[in-house]
Chains A and B, each alone.
Chain A
Amino acid sequence: MANRAASDRPPIVALIGNPNTGKSSLFNALCGGQARVGNYPGVTVEHKTGRMLVANSAFKSIELVDLPGTYSLSARSADEAVSVEVLCGEMPSVARPDAVIVILDATNLERNLYLLSQVLELQIPTLVALNMWDRLEKEGMRLDAEKLSDSLGVRVVCTSASKRIGIAELQSALLELLDRGPGADSQGILERSALASATFPEAFRNSVDELEAWFVSQGCPLQRFQIERLLIDDSQAHSHRVIPKRIASAVADRIGQTREHLASNGVSIPLFETRARYGWIKQRVAGVVERQAREQRVSTSDRIDRWLTHRWFGLLFFIGLMFFIFQSITGIASWPMDGIGFASQWLGQQVESMMGPGPLRSLLVDGIIAGVGAVLVFLPQIAILFFFIAVLEDCGYMSRAAFMMDKFMSALGMSGKSFLPLMSSFACAIPGIMATRTIENRRDRMVTLLIAPLMSCSARWPVYVLMVSAFVPKQAVLGGWVSVQGAVLFAMMCLGALVAIPVAWLLKRFVFPGEPSTFIMELSSYKWPSFRVVAMRVWERVLSFIARAGTLIFVTSVLVWAAAYFPGDHSLLDQTTAKLETEQASPNADPAKIQAWTSQVNQLKSDLIAKSFLGVAGQWIEPIVRPLGWDGKIGVAVLASFPAREVIVATLGTIYSLGGAQDETSDGLAENLRSATWPDGRPVYTLATACSIMVFFALCAQCVSTLVTIRRETNSWRWPIFSFVYMTTLAYLGAWIVYNLMSAWLVP
């Protein structure tokens, strides 16, 4: 505790456990509403850190770190490596935890004790939370927790996190553990002779002793556990942080020689470890667990799985569920969207009524309110999408979907493990790309990471919804059950995933060739989704969307406004606008004058924007985008949206607000787009143009944050550049094909 006292920081307590042991519920129960999601510097896997407030103690609070669920500390994937690095104190900027809470599933004790046997080797004060205590009886089991505690040599607290049972006892046991400090007699640290590693073959232990001395002689002292892992583990997923580059080659030689020596002494690496640890576990649980002999019975979960994981019905259910979700989103979101749109217009009108025409008013109304408001109007749709995704994740359905998808993905040389990151990418590609860290096979991980940005993330929604609501007929088919707009929206959401199939096949065939990987995944139990968990996830994403609108989109809106406003003499426009507004406010307004001045204002706005920086850029870009059916304004808006794709809506909002297309009957941006014309009077936007824009956005890599995330995850600029080039090429070709096909054949 000396280090902690010196730095005056709160104690750090890590939570670790197998997947599906209720770890997140326990974490939430311990830190209440104080949880937050954060990134450790240098790595991008999301961790939850939370603060547990403490009364009547030397500490005011405790920092809880929720580590990714893992079955062992033998790190095979990047997320498992993070758990090892945090526990070993190898993570930069994160101090070694002062204590660890290991969460065990009481109904599957032996397997869960495997991880505990490894954590105990780290010599950190350890506390065991025996979770799902309430399910023991249902499973026909009896467990003597006191006896288990004596047998293990660490304090065991029985909990049922989902029902908030045992939380106070766990908190008090944790405080007691921290108060004692890491002295030799403290609870939760076993003598070396009591650890599972004491049962490892003598030849192995001697080799570890020798290596320990060798590492000291090389000026790189390692913990005994780290040396054991270097010898046993094949993947070496985290060794790059432990071993300095200067001795990496010498270490590899030394480890190779030691393994050969051990093999010649009959030590079978790595299998001796599991056998030794399970031997240790068998001794510890002897007389602790009793299982009643029960007849095999088919549970409700089995009956549900029989249908939901059925080869054909399961697939149909999945497709039907996705279709239902997108249909529901279009239906439910319409009224709150109208509300936000109305609020945005009202705000603009209030500003106009308070300020005379001029650059400041134009900046506020045409730049900020029109730009940011045009994006915020899609907030309800995004919240509803995240609600559905959170419900599916929390109820346990997603792992079933991954199981079904494995059959399909193995044909592409990948595995069902890629499904969950890809599904997350429908919400946002960034967490999806970070979730690829759970994929053990590097080739699979790279392919998944490179196709994840093709999934239709929520930032594409504003573009789709704008185009669909403006140009796709608002009608229902199949007896009124299926909305055409919802069906088109669903098709656009599927497009990226469909294109990802040949892209994945090509990548796997030519860029990352190799044997198909194996697939092992535990399915979580079905449960009713927790309102709190779902609400938290939706709230986090909504806040993130608002933050993006308030920062990146705000700045872009201002820049686009400036590019569309300058250079140009707006004095005549301001004078005419002032006269028009005075006339409109007059009780004896003359409709003829209003009409004449409105036309003049629109003409002046149109002339000014054509001569602005943006207008000139539009003329430059028009020849490139003309084959896609776009005019210069769309071209400029698309160009401005390369940092973040949803910016196009804000940009179009600003361009058409400044460009004078609005009139008294205008009902927003959709109406402005419908009324935009080429110089010869033809409408700019047709169904073909709208589809061309949507296809471009479905396939293009317009998100700097995603590209930066790919850079961080691959530690190279090669892959973000590769993603950008292949996706932009695909987008241009796709948009060109769709526009020309629809213009020539489908839409006369």
Chain B
Amino acid sequence: MALPHPPQAVPVEYLAPQAEGVVVDLCGEEKNLHRLEELGIRCGCKIRMLSPGETCLLAIEGKKMCLRLGSTAEIFVQPLTP
């Protein structure tokens, strides 16, 4: 069975504070994914974790966005090594 996302990818909430990653996959309910993509959270975009947690604060392409998706969607990112 094919992996749904690259092997090193981690859910976005696993990023440490100030760590960066590139979105490699979005999983979950399609209507939520549609919304995330409209907001610019889509494969290839760069994310920086500002405040981790269940409700996390992210910098996405320079804009700050708070996010709590629960079990409805998951954002997988490829961490960028500093």
Q: Which A residues lie at the B interface, using CB under 8 A?
A: 20, 71-72, 74, 76, 107-108, 110-111, 114, 139, 234-235, 268-271, 273-275, 278, 296, 298, 301-302, 305-306, 309-311, 402-403, 406-407, 410, 415-416, 515-516, 518-523
B18, B38, B55, B72: which contacts A72 (Cβ < 8 A)?
B38
B18 contacts A234, CB within 8 Å? Answer: no
Q: Which B residues lie at the A interface, using CB under 8 A?
A: 18, 20, 30-40, 42, 48, 50-51, 53-55, 57, 59, 61-70, 72-73
Could you tell me the distance in whole angstroms from the C-beta of B2 to the nearest C-beta in chain A?
A: 18
Could you tell me the distance in whole angstroms from the C-beta of B79 to the nearest C-beta in chain A?
A: 13
Could you tell me the distance in whole angstroms from the C-beta of B66 to the nearest C-beta in chain A?
A: 4
B55 contacts A518, CB within 8 Å? Answer: no
Starting from the known contacts A270-B31, A274-B34, 18 additional A-B residue pairs (CB-CB under 8 Å) come to A71-B38, A108-B61, A111-B61, A270-B30, A274-B37, A275-B37, A278-B42, A296-B48, A301-B64, A403-B55, A403-B57, A406-B66, A407-B55, A410-B54, A515-B72, A518-B70, A520-B68, A522-B65
Chain A residues, CB < 8 A from B37: 271, 274-275, 278
B35, B42, B64, B68: which contacts A523 (Cβ < 8 A)?
B64
* 16 pairs from A and B in contact (CB 8 Å cutoff): A107-B62, A108-B63, A114-B38, A270-B31, A271-B33, A274-B42, A301-B64, A305-B57, A309-B57, A406-B66, A515-B70, A520-B35, A520-B65, A520-B67, A522-B63, A523-B65
Chain A residues, CB < 8 A from B62: 107-108, 139
Could you tell me the distance in whole angstroms from the C-beta of A356 to the nearest C-beta in chain B?
A: 68
Given the known A-B contacts A268-B30, A410-B55, A519-B55, are A403 and B66 also in contact in the complex, defined by CB atoms under 8 Å? yes
Chain B residues, CB < 8 A from A107: 62
B63 contacts A518, CB within 8 Å? Answer: no
Given the known A-B contacts A406-B66, A410-B55, A521-B66, are A298 and B18 also in contact in the complex, defined by CB atoms under 8 Å? yes
When C-beta atoms are compared, the residue in chain A nearest to B55 turns out to be: A406
B69 contacts A518, CB within 8 Å? Answer: yes
- Interface SS, B side: mixed
A302 contacts B38, CB within 8 Å? Answer: no
Chain B residues, CB < 8 A from A406: 55, 66, 68
A273, A305, A415, A416: which contacts B50 (Cβ < 8 A)?
A305
A108 contacts B64, CB within 8 Å? Answer: no
Alpha-carbon gap, A658 to B67, bound state (A): 59
Q: Kindly name the residue among A107, A516, A522 whose own CB sees the greatest number of chain B CB atoms within 10 A.
A: A522
Chain A residues, CB < 8 A from B18: 296, 298
Chain A residues, CB < 8 A from B65: 520-523
Chain B residues, CB < 8 A from A270: 30-31, 34
Chain A residues, CB < 8 A from B50: 302, 305-306, 309
Chain B residues, CB < 8 A from A108: 40, 61-63
Alpha-carbon gap, A410 to B66, bound state (A): 13
A76 contacts B20, CB within 8 Å? Answer: no
Which 5 A-B pairs give the minimum distances between C-beta atoms? A111-B40, A274-B37, A519-B68, A523-B64, A403-B66
B73 contacts A518, CB within 8 Å? Answer: yes
A305 contacts B73, CB within 8 Å? Answer: no
A520 contacts B36, CB within 8 Å? Answer: yes
Alpha-carbon gap, A274 to B30, bound state (A): 11
Chain A residues, CB < 8 A from B33: 271
A416 contacts B55, CB within 8 Å? Answer: yes
B20, B39, B68: which contacts A111 (Cβ < 8 A)?
B39
Alpha-carbon gap, A275 to B37, bound state (A): 8
Chain A residues, CB < 8 A from B63: 20, 108, 111, 522
Alpha-carbon gap, A416 to B55, bound state (A): 10
Q: Kindly name the residue among A72, A139, A234, A403 whose own CB sees the greatest number of chain B CB atoms within 10 A.
A: A403
Could you tell me the distance in whole angstroms from the C-beta of A333 to the nearest C-beta in chain B?
A: 35
Chain A residues, CB < 8 A from B57: 305, 309, 403, 523
When C-beta atoms are compared, the residue in chain A nearest to B20 turns out to be: A296
Alpha-carbon gap, A72 to B40, bound state (A): 11
When C-beta atoms are compared, the residue in chain B nearest to A70 turns out to be: B38
B20, B34, B53, B68: which contacts A415 (Cβ < 8 A)?
B68
Chain B residues, CB < 8 A from A139: 62
Could you tell me the distance in whole angstroms from the C-beta of B42 to the nearest C-beta in chain A?
A: 7
